[in-house]
């Protein structure tokens, strides 16, 4: 799907796929493939503590895209690529923050006795 100017996704093709999806009231296979590609490419910019965490974040982001793909409004902007990129980035950041808040990576932190300053000698 590379275009001649070395982009991994053609924004015009994505807009065309989204328009077609809205007309059919169902996400087309081409639009789904493009959005999944965007999620996987954008997800590589972030640091994850485990491979499972990365898979969870990606799957939650794809789920969000599947739920909210139709909220794109052509009257406000015709740049579907920027709209979905910001949605994906925000979702990934939100999912990573939720992992930290839920202490799902608690086992990666140093134990308390290592971080305290020793004063008993």
pLDDT score for 7: 78
In this predicted structure, which of 44-48, 53-57, 86-90, 105-109 has the lowest mean pLDDT? 105-109
For residue 26, the Cα-to-chain-centroid distance in whole angstroms is: 21
**What 8-state DSSP symbol labels residue 48?**
-
Q: Where are the domains of the chain?
A: 11-115
pLDDT score for 50: 84
pLDDT in tens, 94-121: 988 887 666 545 544 444 443 444 455 4
Between 39 and 5, the more confident residue is: 39
pTM, rounded to two decimals = 0.76
pLDDT score for 114: 38
* Sign of the CA dihedral with 9 first, then 15, 20, and 23 last: positive
Cα three-residue angle 35-72-100, rounded to 5 degrees:
60
Identify whether the C-beta of residue 81 lies closer than 8 Å to the C-beta of residue 14.
yes
pLDDT in tens, 25-47: 999 999 999 999 999 999 999 88
């Amino acid at each position: 799907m590379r275009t001649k100017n070395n982009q991994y996704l053609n924004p015009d093709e994505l807009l065309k796929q989204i328009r077609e999806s809205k007309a059919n009231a169902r996400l087309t296979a081409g639009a789904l493939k493009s959005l999944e590609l965007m999620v996987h490419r954008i997800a590589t910019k972030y640091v994850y503590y485990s491979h499972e965490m990365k898979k969870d974040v990606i799957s939650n982001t794809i789920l969000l895209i599947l739920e909210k793909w139709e909220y794109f409004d052509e009257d406000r902007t015709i740049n579907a690529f920027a709209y979905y990129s910001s949605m994906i980035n925000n979702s990934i950041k939100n999912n990573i923050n939720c992992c930290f808040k839920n202490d799902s990576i608690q086992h990666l932190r140093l134990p308390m006795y290592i971080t305290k300053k020793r004063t008993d000698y």
